[in-house]
Structure 1
Amino acid sequence: MRKSDHGMLSADEVSFEYNVFFCAEAAFLYYPYYAGFNIFTFFANWIRLVCFNFPFAFFSQLFFIQPFIRTCFKAVFRRKAESAQTVKA
């Protein structure tokens, strides 16, 4: 199967990339409030926070948030398509 054959695969890739960036950024901004700022342990504590946050963020996005948003958009656009068909008829 080619990558272009399945739209869900590319959506999962985008979700993964978003979570990698967001978890790193959120951990960077939250770190001084979490552990106090210490220049000697900054990188180690930052990596620790990223490792704690990433699995939850990725799997919740993949299994809960993404299907919920897809369902909402399908319902909204299905109603719009049905109303457009009734107006044309």
Structure 2
Amino acid sequence: MCNLYSFGSPGRVMDAANKALGGEVRLGAHAGNLAEGFVGADSGGPGIRAAGEDFEIDVLRRGFPPTSPKDRDGKWEPLITNIRSL
């Protein structure tokens, strides 16, 4: 799996998402103006998720869920970005 992703042309992405999903796709609270550029394995990038009847594009961090969601202190473990770490 390649960890090299980039994001460009947010307007075209919104139009394509609206057509493909058949609903309204809006920007989430943390998306703001999505800048073009590199999206690294441990950084946030644009993602589409369900928001009631519609969809929203927000800045999400990608990765696999940890094997144990909380550590001994009750804090959430970070997402795992490398499958070999499981």
Q: Whose strand fraction is larger, Structure 1's or Structure 2's?
A: 2
TM class, shorter-chain normalised?
A: under 0.3
Q: Output the TM-score relative to the length of structure 2.
A: 0.27
Q: Output the TM-score relative to the length of structure 1.
A: 0.26
Greater relative contact order (CA < 8 Å, ≥ 6 in sequence): 1
